[in-house]
Amino acid sequence: MNPSVLPPPPLPSLPIQPTFPAAAHRRIAIAIDLSDESAYAIRWAVQNYLRAGDAVVLLHVRPTSVLYGADWGSITPNSKNKCENDSNNESQQEIDKELNILTTRKANTLAQPLVDAKIPFKIHVVKDRDMKERLCLEVERLGLSAVIMGSRGFGGTRGRLGLGLGS
């Protein structure tokens, strides 16, 4: 073979991307606070991020003035007597029941883009005094791949004007 006439080297090729098996779902949470920004976050996720096979959790942390713990239930500060506690518990349970109904109704309304796109979802509502901490704990506990959050109306303009969180 003549060294001056060599066959051209093979062209480099990109490795073929593996296709994910049907069982390899991503677990995606969309943090919602039942606001217009939450509705936008859901629409954005459907249009730009979610894909077939994703498991979606709408995660809502409902604020409360009662301290909650993982193992001890609720602890109401300054409990005085049993009779007063019983009437307070009944009225608090009634309020909680109504809030649960309203929260579920609003979350289902916000989830309409997921329904339209035929993306299965679950609504996960938890209560805590420290909403940021509870959100982080739930993300870890549920083993989520990603979390999508709205801006709660604190966009770039408000941040530049010094009107951000804590102002």
Looking at the structure of the chain, the number of domains it has is 1
pLDDT tens figures, 88-129:
778 888 888 888 888 889 999 999 999 999 999 999 999 898
Query: Taking 60 as the threshold, does the pLDDT of residue 150 lie above it?
Result: yes
Residue 161 is assigned to a structural domain of this protein: no
Residue 19 resides in a domain:
no
Q: How far apart are CA 146 and CA 27, in angstroms?
A: 7
Mean pLDDT value of segment 42-54:
94
2 found inside a domain = no
Q: Provide the domain limits for residue 75.
A: 27-151
Q: Is residue 140 part of a domain?
A: yes
Question: Where residue 128 sits, what CATH number does that domain have?
Answer: 3.40.50.620
- For the residues 25-40, what does the mean pLDDT come to? 92
Say whether pLDDT at 82 is over 60: no
Has residue 84 been placed in a domain?
Answer: yes
How many whole angstroms separate alpha carbon 163 and alpha carbon 156?
A: 10
**Cβ atoms within 10 A of the Cβ of 61, count?**
22
Angle made by CA atoms 73, 79, 81, in degrees to the nearest 5: 120
Per-residue pLDDT at 111: 94
Q: Tell me if 13 is assigned to some domain.
A: no
Counts for the chain of helices (H) and strands (E), in that order: 5, 6
In a domain, 37, yes or no: yes
Between 10-19, 47-56, 69-78, 94-103, the lowest mean confidence (pLDDT) is in 10-19
Q: pTM higher than 0.85 for the full model?
A: no
Q: And the tokens for 78?
A: 């300054």
In order of 39, 116, 149, 150, 162, the CA distances from 158 in angstroms are: 20, 33, 18, 15, 6
Range name among 15-29, 111-125, 131-145 with the lowest pLDDT average: 15-29
In a domain, 43, yes or no: yes
What are the Cα distances from residue 83, in Å, to 16, 29, 64, 65, 93?
Answer: 70, 42, 23, 21, 15
Q: Tell me the pLDDT band of 152, cut-offs 50, 70 and 90.
A: low
Buried-state track 83-111, b at ≥16 Cβ within 10 A, e below 16: eeeeeeeeeeeeeeeeeeeebeebbeebb
